């Protein structure tokens, strides 16, 4: 064969096996969309599923699968599936769980705003009945399961922003007795605090954008479940195409390596911040499961590791309206007002205009999201600095 032309050579330069006998100590980023084999029969076998391998990255790709193995390891599940965002993971898991025209989903009324909007704006118009319930009221959940015969019960392990803790083992039993699948959004807890699959949850969802990524630089979602359920979700993903990219998978894998040390520190900082806020005269009320007066304090102690209650703290500023809360948030110098959580740095958010903006004032009031409520995601900074910043901002905005 004649020497290929420059255009041919530049597109092939550097590619192919190096024949090296070394192994990289971290997962390499494999950005290839397509994979080729020594002969057509091998490619045919891979395409037909009788031989392992990769063909096209929407069907599977090595860096993304490395993340999926790490996620399954973390969650204690048989398998996991990575998606382009937490919302994509929720959408895919609910679709795979059988939400279809004529079916019903029973969900906790305390739910991430995006999830509630997904149910109301996407699933409901397709003929799915959406029913909400106070998920900490087990007799009410039990009655609703019997009455409405939902195919899915959806709850968050720790709810946003009031930090209610779900009794996942009891909910799994109630759901299964009623013939429903339990889907748990474990984003606020992370598998460090809790592994819902091991308590009977059928699908667990994580927005990896939050604690798993941990650095505010990557959007992603994960579904953990049985091998069979993950395979069904994967078949759906092959058609829907809400895949995670290899670069994002790599960033999340990197974040996961420090999940335990970050969460341990963040939970410890959050418990101290909660005590500080509780002692402050300008603070009317503090929501955090580490506090003995939290309604699910005992449950939290039963489900989570000792003295680890999550790293989000919500609180109400005494006699404050939106303007006073904004003044407090503007006065912060270290803590950043931004709409996420779970990052290494501390973040504050005003639920009434962010996560729960789409709701009416009445609806927010019914859910207990008052105009003086602030949600704080506590980072890994020195806790004295976080507390000093909160103290000066509370004083400056008084
Ligand atoms: C952020 C979040 C989501 C959505 O995740 P994205 O990665 O932003 O799509 C879902 N559930 C909870 C509890 C969240 O905090």
What CATH number corresponds to the domain at position 268?
3.90.1150.10
Residue 86 within any structural domain of the chain:
yes
Atom of ligand 1 nearest to the CA of 342: 15
- For 64-104, how does the pLDDT look when each residue is reduced to its tens digit (9 = 90+)? 999 999 999 999 999 999 999 999 999 999 999 999 999 99
Asked if the structure places residue 113 within a domain, the reply is yes
- How many residues belong to the chain? 398
- In this structure, the answer to whether residues 82 and 166 fall within a common structural domain is yes
Report the pLDDT value the prediction gives residue 103, as an integer from 0 to 100. Answer: 97
Ligand 1 atom 4 nearest Cα: 86
pLDDT at 21 > cutoff 80: no
| Helical residues (DSSP H) of the chain, grouped into ranges | 6-12, 40-48, 62-75, 86-96, 113-118, 138-148, 168-177, 190-193, 227-240, 246-257, 259-279, 297-303, 322-331, 361-367, 383-396
Which amino acid residue places its CA nearest to atom 2 of ligand 1? 207
* Residue numbers of the domain that contains 158: 6-256
pLDDT of residue 379: 97
Q: φ and ψ at 294, to 5 degrees?
A: -65, 135
Name the more confident of 78 and 2. Answer: 78
Question: Which tokens sit at 206?
Answer: 């994580």
| Model confidence at 358: pLDDT above 80 | no
Catalytic center residues = 58, 112, 185, 210
The last residue of a domain, from among 221, 240, 256: 256
Question: What's the confidence (pLDDT) of residue 16?
Answer: 66
Residues 265 and 182 in one domain: no
Same domain, 207 and 302: no
Report the pLDDT value the prediction gives residue 34, as an integer from 0 to 100. Answer: 95
pLDDT > 90 in the chain, percent: 87
Element (H, E) at 112: none
Look at residue 23 in the predicted model and tell me its pLDDT: 81
Distance (Å) from CA 309 to ligand 1 centroid: 19
Q: Which residues line ligand 1 (CB under 6 A)?
A: 85-87, 112, 114-115, 156, 160, 185, 187-188, 207, 209-210, 219, 221
**CA 262 – ligand 1 centroid, Å:** 19
pLDDT at position 19: 64
Is the domain of 247 the same as that of 293? no
Answer whether residue 96 is part of any domain. Answer: yes
pLDDT tens digits, 223-271: 999 999 999 999 999 999 999 999 999 999 999 999 999 999 999 999 9
Residue-wise DSSP of 24-49:
-SS------SB---SSHHHHHHHHHT
Site to substitute for ligand 1 among 89, 114, 186, most atoms within 8 A of C-beta:
114
- Do 233 and 290 lie in a common domain? no
Q: Is residue 1 part of a domain?
A: no
Tokens of 223: 């579904």
Burial class (CB in 10 A: 0-12, 13-18, 19+), 115: buried
Q: With b meaning 16 or more CB within 10 Å and e meaning fewer, what string describes 187-196?
A: bbbbbbbbbb
Average of per-residue pLDDT across 341-370: 89
Please give the full DSSP string across 208-272, using - where no structure is assigned.
TTTTTT-SS----EEEEE-HHHHHHHHHHHHHH--PPPHHHHHHHHHHHHTHHHHHHHHHHHHHH
From 19-28, 56-65, 204-213, the region with the lowest mean pLDDT: 19-28
pLDDT, the chain, mean:
95
Quick one: average pLDDT of 299-315?
96
pLDDT at residue 7 tops 90: no
Q: How many domains does the chain have?
A: 2
Domain containing 170 — which CATH number?
Answer: 3.40.640.10
Mark whether 28 and 116 lie in a shared domain.
Answer: yes
**Of 256, 291, 315, which closes a domain?**
256
Looking at the structure, tell me whether residues 228 and 283 fall in a common domain: no
What burial class does residue 185 get, using C-beta atoms within 10 Å of its C-beta: 0-12 exposed, 13-18 middle, 19+ buried? buried
Among 204, 237, 256, where does a domain finish? 256
Burial class (CB in 10 A: 0-12, 13-18, 19+), 382: exposed
Protein residue closest via CA to atom 8 of ligand 1:
86
CB 274 within 8 A of CB 289: no
């Amino acid at each position: 064969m004649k020497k290929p032309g420059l255009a041919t050579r530049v597109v092939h330069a550097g590619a192919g096996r190096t024949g090296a006998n070394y192994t990289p100590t971290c997962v390499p980023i494999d950005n290839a969309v397509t994979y080729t084999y020594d002969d057509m029969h091998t490619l045919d076998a891979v395409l037909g599923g009788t031989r392992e391998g990769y063909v096209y990255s929407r069907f599977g790709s090595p860096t993304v699968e490395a993340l999926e193995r790490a996620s399954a390891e973390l969650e204690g599940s048989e398998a996991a599936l990575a998606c382009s965002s937490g919302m994509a993971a929720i959408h895919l898991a609910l679709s795979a769980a059988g939400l279809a025209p004529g079916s019903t989903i029973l969900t906790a009324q305390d739910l991430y705003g995006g999830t509630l909007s997904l149910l109301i704006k996407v699933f409901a118009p397709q003929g799915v009945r959406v029913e909400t319930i106070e998920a900490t009221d087990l007799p009410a959940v039990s009655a609703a399961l019997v009455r409405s015969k939902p195919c899915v019960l959806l709850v968050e392990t720790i709810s946003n922003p009031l930090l209610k803790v779900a009794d996942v083992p009891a909910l799994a039993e109630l759901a299964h007795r009623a013939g429903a699948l339990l889907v748990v959004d474990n984003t606020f807890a992370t598998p460090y605090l809790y592994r819902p699959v091991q308590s009977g949850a059928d699908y667990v969802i994580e927005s990896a954008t939050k604690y798993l990524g941990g650095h505010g630089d990557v959007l992603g979602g994960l579904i953990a479940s049985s091998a069979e359920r993950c395979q069904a979700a994967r078949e759906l993903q092959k058609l829907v195409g809400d895949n995670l990219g290899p670069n994002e998978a790599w960033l999340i894998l990197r974040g996961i390596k420090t999940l335990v040390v970050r969460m341990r520190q963040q939970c410890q900082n959050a418990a101290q911040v909660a005590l500080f806020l509780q002692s402050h005269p300008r603070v009317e009320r503090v929501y955090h499961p580490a506090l003995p007066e939290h309604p699910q304090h005992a449950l939290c102690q039963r489900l989570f590791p000792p003295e680890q209650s999550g790293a989000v703290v919500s609180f109400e500023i005494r006699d404050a309206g939106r303007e006073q809360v904004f003044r407090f948030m503007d006065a912060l110098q270290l803590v950043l007002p931004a709409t996420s959580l779970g990052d290494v740095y501390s973040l504050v958010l005003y639920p009434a205009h962010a996560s729960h903006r789409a709701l009416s004032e009445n609806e927010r009031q019914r859910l207990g999201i008052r105009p003086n409520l602030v949600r704080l995601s506590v980072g890994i900074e020195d806790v004295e600095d976080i507390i000093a910043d909160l103290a000066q901002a509370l004083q400056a905005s008084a």
